[in-house]
Structure 1
Amino acid sequence: MADEMSGERDFNQRNIDEFRANGGKVGGQFEGFPLLLLTSTGAKSGEQRVNPVAYFEFDGAIYIVGSAAGRDSDPAWAFNIRAHPDAQVEIGSDPPRPVRARELPREERDRLYPRVVEQAPGFGDYEKRTDRVIPIFELVPAD
């Protein structure tokens, strides 16, 4: 488990570095997919955590999906923004900006998830791999 976490941190750090060096563009499995950097406060540690996260823009709003690639628990960043909804995002080469995360209520989430799958069919596969309800968060500008 510790090796898996360390490998995931290294993977994330490589993507974060690539994102910042290339104005928000990342290659490999994320090639051409809209990605943002989410800086959240650790739910337990209180430390700042940066995660590359796929995002979706619908009707002028920005959403992130806690798919964790279909694993049986939400990604760590989801726990963090539930505990501390004030966060920061970096999109493209824009400077970081403050946001407040709002987890969508189930009914609203269920209406939006098919639009996510339409744009990124892999999220349909993630949903089939797990029994949990994959959460969606809206990132509301906080300035």
Structure 2
Amino acid sequence: MSVLGRVTRRLGHHRWFGAAARLLVPADRVVGRLTRGRVVALGLIPSLVITTTGRRSGKPRSNPVVYVPDGDAYVVIGSNWGQTHHPAWALNLLADPAAQVDVKGRRLAVRAERASGAERERLWQLLVTEWPAYRSYVQRAGGREIHIFRLAPTGRGAPDGPPSAG
């Protein structure tokens, strides 16, 4: 891991870091879309672009998120930088678990499975190993349960071209 990556992981625990990072999400979304998930979060931590279907609008909504691999699947967490409300993309997955990810230049159709019980704990350990600040996010979120999803590839082909911005 690079020095900058290690510093980023330490800074991630600070409330101001989350606020600053939220301001950069629109730019990160564009860069991730243009690079088909090759460059997300400046390449500092493993990230992908997830495209969900808006639960109210029905339109595609794309967001950069940190992930950890789990076999052929990707594990993501709806931490929302420790805010007291869930991110829209996580609520979209609860309404419609079919999604698409752009990761490392590949586009894949996935189905979100919300983790619970022992599986949730196992995936939580994977996530905090990659991004220790998730522990701080839970405290800042007032102890609310943060959704953890395992994104399993469905084998369905995804359309060519970049996903729509959300």
Whether TM-score is above 0.5 comes out as yes
Unaligned runs of 5+ in 1: 1-7
Q: Cα gap change, 1:65/1:21 in structure 2, threshold over 3 Å: closer, same or farther?
A: same
* Residue type of the alignment partner of 1:126: Y
**What pairs up with 1:9-48 in 2 under 5 angstroms?**
11-22=24-35, 24-26=38-40, 30-48=42-60
Question: Percent same amino acid among aligned pairs?
Answer: 34
* Residue type of the alignment partner of 1:37: V
- Does the 8 A contact of 1:20 with 1:93 survive in 2? no
In the alignment, what sits opposite 1:139?
Answer: 151
Matched, 1:113 2:124: yes
Matched, 1:57 2:47: no
Q: CA deviation at 1:31?
A: 4.0
TM-score of the pair, normalised by structure 2: 0.71
Looking at structure 2, the residues matched to 34 and 57 of structure 1 have their Cα atoms a distance apart, in angstroms, of 9
Q: Secondary structure at the match of 1:81?
A: helix
Matched, 1:124 2:135: yes
* Residue type of the alignment partner of 1:93: G
Looking at structure 2, the residues matched to 140 and 60 of structure 1 have their Cα atoms a distance apart, in angstroms, of 7
TM-score of the pair, normalised by structure 1: 0.82
Q: What are the superposed Cα offsets for residues 107-142 of structure 1, whole Å, 9 maximum, x if unpaired?
A: 321232123112211111111212211111000111
Looking at structure 1, the residues matched to 154 and 24 of structure 2 have their Cα atoms a distance apart, in angstroms, of 29
- Does the 8 A contact of 2:114 with 2:147 survive in 1? yes
Q: CA deviation at 1:16?
A: 2.1
Q: CA deviation at 1:92?
A: 1.5
Q: Secondary structure at the match of 1:49?
A: strand
Which stretch of the first structure deviates more once superposed, 56-65 or 123-132? 56-65
Q: CA deviation at 1:58?
A: 2.9
**C-alpha RMSD of the superposition:** 1.9
Looking at structure 2, the residues matched to 112 and 20 of structure 1 have their Cα atoms a distance apart, in angstroms, of 26
Q: What number of residue pairs does the alignment pair up?
A: 132
* Residue type of the alignment partner of 1:128: Q
Unaligned runs of 5+ in 2: 1-21, 156-166
Q: Cα gap change, 1:126/1:62 in structure 2, threshold over 3 Å: closer, same or farther?
A: same
Looking at structure 2, the residues matched to 127 and 112 of structure 1 have their Cα atoms a distance apart, in angstroms, of 15
Q: CA deviation at 1:22?
A: 4.4
* Residue type of the alignment partner of 2:132: P
